[in-house]
Structure 1
Amino acid sequence: MRTLGGRYELEQRVGVGGMSEVWRAHDLVLDRTVAVKLISPGQEGEDTSVERIRAEARSAARLVHPNVASVHDFGTSIAADGGEVPYIVMELAEGETLAAHLRDGALDWRIATRVCAEVSAALAAAHAHGIVHRDVKPANVILTPAGVKVLDFGIATPAGAPDHTPEGMVVGTPAYLAPEQIDRQPATPAADMYALGVLLYYCLTGRLPYTAGSATQLLGARRRQPPRPLPEIDGLPPEIADLCRRCLAEDPAVRPTSLMAALLLAEVVDARVYVPMLAAMPRPRSAPVSPWTDRAAAEATEAMAVPAAEGARS
């Protein structure tokens, strides 16, 4: 069994991406289960240097929030060719991804709203630290018994930083990229809000606001036509539909802030989320059941009253 840094014993590979793989591991020093993200070494000239990954890990480690999967450590291991392979040690969020839940179709609008409220709260914490996630999507959202965890700040960047990726490449998932990201403009919090709009649309409808059969077609279609408006959804409050529309605006200045979105979405389902300006809110009661099981909508809404603030203070 492979051990990194004499401390992290890799047990099972749980995910593979374009430039990384994630392992369930055991921290031998603190005797706890963690997630270890191994970053694949890039080609000469690509922006995958050890120092860049170290800087990203440090940025992500500043985020202490109940809806953010915490970063615990950073290190390097030696590859077969003698090169350095950076790795990031993170909190292992137990639960299913939002992508897995969406395979069965759209969520009840109240659950969709609560999920996106907590994602917005996580983004508000990041944006308050000047960090842009750049890859908000269902696969990076875990639904745990205590609520949402947003994963993978591994390509997070300081707001306004220039794009140093090789020409012809874009960072992020095509369906969730803001128009300005496709044009390789510096990432800002507004780009994350566009992705939130796509995420909210997908949760409410079970499909993307675009029609395309491949990533190439998707990027082409997005340059030619605006996102489709939300269809009629029984019981959906108009302010949710309006928020989704504004998040998907082509002009970044029209999109709401993450803080505004978190508060609005939480208010609609009578939930509380942990955001920087509300850190001193009174401690409410917690619900004893998971908010993500299938049950009647009324029961789901009551279960979703598990506040993120509770986890922040425990």
Structure 2
Amino acid sequence: MTETPPGALPVPYVPGMSGLSVMARGGYATVFRATQDSVGREVAIKVENRRLESSRDQARFLREARAAGRMSSHPYVVDLFDVGVTVDQHPYFIMELCDGSYLDRMRRSPLGAAEARDLGAKIADALVHSHANGVLHRDVKPANILYSQFSSALLADFGLAVLGEMRDSSVTLEVLTPAYAAPEMFRHDEPTGAVDVYALCATLYALMRGRPPRWESDRSPSLITLMNSFDAPIPDIPGVPRQLVDLVRHGMANDPAARPSAEELRRLLTDLRLDEPAPPPSFVPPPRYNTGDETPTVRTPMKPSMRKRFFGLLGIEDR
């Protein structure tokens, strides 16, 4: 497998697609906006910088594609429409086009507690689905949680996903995101669903605080500093209820066995009632008169012959 520098990756030819323009470039892939000609739909095409030059690389790509395909039917996972390989052997994924990521949201302003809780419950639900299918995501982070006009939470990029029963030693620290990676990932331990729980809780903490847990400033610490910080306490977040911070701390326990499963995390987040101020009472205007029946009464004079007959039936003498 060889790599093409991100800036040197040319606009590729992808069958059935037109109008490709660069949306984002990264160390792992370049994302293009394009139009799917057959249905006139705008899509995102992620073209990876690596080239598939061996049967081992091709097998890994097919594994990733199948993992992503299994997940894409979930309501909180980005839809995958197709995959392929360009003429110069770069793998690509054709996906749902989204409006932005929670990394963008975090840079503009931190999320409130209720929004972070609800977002976490949805992404945890996606992880329950993926873990039940034997697939680990392994790169949950703000940049991989997207939103669109149709959904407030979409988990993207199963590019590092591996089948749970496989040990994939070809995935190294260089393609992880250290700020959200669990401590066991730095030890090259066999990954389990607990790494995704850790990453999701670290992501929720970052979205509420404005930077990843244990970061002392907005500048990224060195890898050694980050690894040495796992024993440091995770501070409270001003304005965020303590019970929510304690819950994400629980999900970031250094011991994988001490963390909740994705299913337990989903339940804990869904059931969490935050200490939020009660809404002001609705204004109810006072009654204009009394609170009795305001239905008007119409009195019609009774003719003398009818009065005599009526009182006669009641055994009363008409006076």
TM norm structure 2: 0.74
CA distance in 1, matches of 2:162, 2:221: 25
- Percent of matched pairs sharing the same residue: 30
CA distance in 2, matches of 1:127, 1:57: 16
Hey, what does 1:155 align to over in structure 2?
Answer: 160
Hey, what does 1:85 align to over in structure 2?
Answer: 90
Higher relative contact order (Cα pairs below 8 Å, separated by 6+ residues): 1
Match among 231, 235, 257 for residue 236 of structure 2: 231
> What does the per-residue CA deviation read over 1:178-235, in whole Å, with 9 as the maximum and x for residues that have no partner?
1111111222110011111211211222222223676662443323542532315446
Match among 265, 268, 280 for residue 264 of structure 1: 268
Residues 206 and 7 of structure 1: is their aligned pair in 2 closer, same or farther, counting only changes over 3 Å? Answer: same
Contact residue 52 and residue 90 of structure 2 kept, 8 A:
no
Residues 2 and 172 of structure 1: is their aligned pair in 2 closer, same or farther, counting only changes over 3 Å? Answer: closer
Query: Does residue 1:55 correspond to 2:59, yes or no?
Result: no
Structure 2 residue identity aligned to 1:62: R
5+ long unaligned stretches in structure 1 = 271-295, 300-314
Match among 145, 148, 159 for residue 144 of structure 1: 148
Structure 2 residue identity aligned to 1:90: M
> What does the per-residue CA deviation read over 1:125-170, in whole Å, with 9 as the maximum and x for residues that have no partner?
111111111111111111334320111111111125323227x744
Specify the structure having the higher radius of gyration (Cα). 2
After the TM superposition, which residues 298-313 of structure 1 pair with which residues of structure 2 at under 5 Å, given as runs? none
Hey, what does 2:304 align to over in structure 1?
Answer: none
> What does the per-residue CA deviation read over 1:81-111, in whole Å, with 9 as the maximum and x for residues that have no partner?
xxx1111111112x22111111134221111
Name the stretch that deviates more: 193-202 or 222-231. 222-231
Contact residue 52 and residue 58 of structure 2 kept, 8 A:
no
Hey, what does 1:307 align to over in structure 2?
Answer: none
CA RMSD of superposed structures (Å): 2.9
SS of alignment partner, residue 230 of structure 1: coil
CA distance in 1, matches of 2:161, 2:228: 25
Give how far 1:267 is off.
2.6
5+ long unaligned stretches in structure 2 = 1-9, 280-319
Structure 1 residue identity aligned to 2:32: W
CA distance in 2, matches of 1:71, 1:216: 34
CA distance in 2, matches of 1:263, 1:158: 25
Query: Does residue 1:99 correspond to 2:103, yes or no?
Result: yes
CA distance in 1, matches of 2:141, 2:273: 22
Residues 128 and 227 of structure 1: is their aligned pair in 2 closer, same or farther, counting only changes over 3 Å? Answer: farther
Residues 171 and 19 of structure 1: is their aligned pair in 2 closer, same or farther, counting only changes over 3 Å? Answer: closer
Query: Does residue 1:37 correspond to 2:42, yes or no?
Result: no
Hey, what does 2:317 align to over in structure 1?
Answer: none
Contact residue 5 and residue 77 of structure 1 kept, 8 A:
yes
SS of alignment partner, residue 188 of structure 2: coil
Residues 232 and 90 of structure 1: is their aligned pair in 2 closer, same or farther, counting only changes over 3 Å? Answer: closer
Contact residue 12 and residue 23 of structure 1 kept, 8 A:
yes
Match among 209, 233, 241 for residue 205 of structure 1: 209
Hey, what does 2:80 align to over in structure 1?
Answer: 71
SS of alignment partner, residue 195 of structure 2: helix
Hey, what does 2:295 align to over in structure 1?
Answer: none
Hey, what does 1:120 align to over in structure 2?
Answer: 124
